[in-house]
Amino acid sequence: MRDEDDQLYIYQLYGISTPRKIKAEKTLRAKIGASTKITPEQIEKAQKIITHPKKDFSGYALQQLSRIEGAIHATYENTYDRESDYELIIVPLSNIKGQAGMFGNWLASHLSEIILKFLEKYKRLDNDALDILGHYCKAIHLTYELELFDTTSTGGQKIAHELQYVVKRYNERFKKKIERT
Amino acid sequence: MKELTVLVADDSEPMLEVMVAILNRFGFGRILTATDGEQAFSVFQRYKPDLIITDWHMDNIDGLELCRWIRRNKHSVNRSIPIILMTGFSDYARITSARDKGITEIIIKPFSAEDLAKRIMHVIDVPRDFIESLGFFGPDRRRRKIDSPVADDRRLMEPEEKS
């Protein structure tokens, strides 16, 4: 008998292998008292920190962007195993998507969301997908150079439409490819 | 809220500062910080916070690994502490896999102060039962959709319907 089988036998013998439910207790509620809550005034004050950020996020964003650019460059060279490269790209991408929106750069967050959804849909990195990622990186640099942070500005809308257009073209090409095969 | 201690872990300094400022406005008594999972675990063991809010992807030890250490380590000071995971991902499969690893709640970045307040109040008012079995220790994964504060979160990408 293997060690783990032996262990399993002991667990079964004592009934430990049966999942046990531990009933939840309202310990945190008991600590803060019955009526304490986060008030709308507190939420409003906290929201101001997000809406009017004092901290500059651009350094972190550009650092994440250079990680993506480095991974794109390496992936072009790598023709046999691109699965590990996928994670190297998607993690900093999700960081920009998540955090740019917490620091007032809604446009960078929106552009990152477009690309994140695109990559999460296909979960593959062919050369066309890498080209799209290249467009994305240029677009993010542009948002910081021109200080375009708003999704509703004319410039912001133009950049977002261009990115959506290249993603749409990829989708159409992919669909045709599937139909042919 | 002043009776509660919260631990925030994030490897992005600007994000950590924003989170501390937000939690300060919410009135938490003590806010502890860590810049990776390993540091977070040692702070957790030492100061026994009431709640953890952690980023998913951090250099060194990430938020999911931190969760595994807390839930599975027999020396853990509080295996059933509520853990809220912050992430930029909204892919359904990824979110589900995080839940399966013992995360209590997930919040998708960017979020509003109201979103965060809702998640915090949810773990306070609707604590989850825990399941202990040979391969798992964590919040009961079976829960009605109506119990979830993210039930209406349309940013979560549901798997595409098969025709």
pLDDT tens string, chain A, 181 residues long: the values are 455 455 555 555 555 566 778 888 889 999 999 888 999 999 999 999 988 888 778 888 899 999 999 989 888 887 666 777 888 899 999 999 998 989 888 999 999 999 999 998 888 888 889 999 999 999 999 998 888 888 888 888 999 999 999 999 998 988 888 888 7
ipTM for this prediction: 0.82
* Residue A88 touches chain B, beta carbons under 8 Å: no
Question: Considering Cα of B62, then B65, then B70, then B71, what sign does the dihedral take?
Answer: positive
Q: Which of B26, B42, B135, B85 is nearest to A38 (CA)?
A: B26
**Alpha-carbon distance A27 to B49, whole Å?**
13
Q: Do A102 and B109 touch (CB under 8 A)?
A: yes
Residues 6+ apart with CB under 8 A from A61: A96, A99, A100, A105, A108, A140, A144
Average pLDDT (B27-52) is: 95
Q: Is the peptide bond before B110 cis (omega within 30 degrees of 0)?
A: yes
Given this model, what pLDDT does residue A175 score?
86
Cα–Cα separations (whole angstroms), residue B97 to A71, A170, B56, B62: 25, 28, 12, 14
Tell me which chain A residues have a C-beta less than 8 angstroms from the C-beta of B120: 38
pLDDT in tens, B106-163: 999 999 999 999 999 999 998 888 888 777 788 886 664 545 555 545 455 445 444 3
**Alpha-carbon distance B120 to B103, whole Å?**
13
Q: Do A95 and B88 touch (CB under 8 A)?
A: yes
> Both tokens of residue A83?
């699965």
Q: Do B121 and A37 touch (CB under 8 A)?
A: yes
- Give strand pairing partners of B7: B32, B52
Tell me which chain B residues have a C-beta less than 8 angstroms from the C-beta of A112: 88
Given this model, what pLDDT does residue B161 score?
45
Residue B89 scores a pLDDT above 60: yes
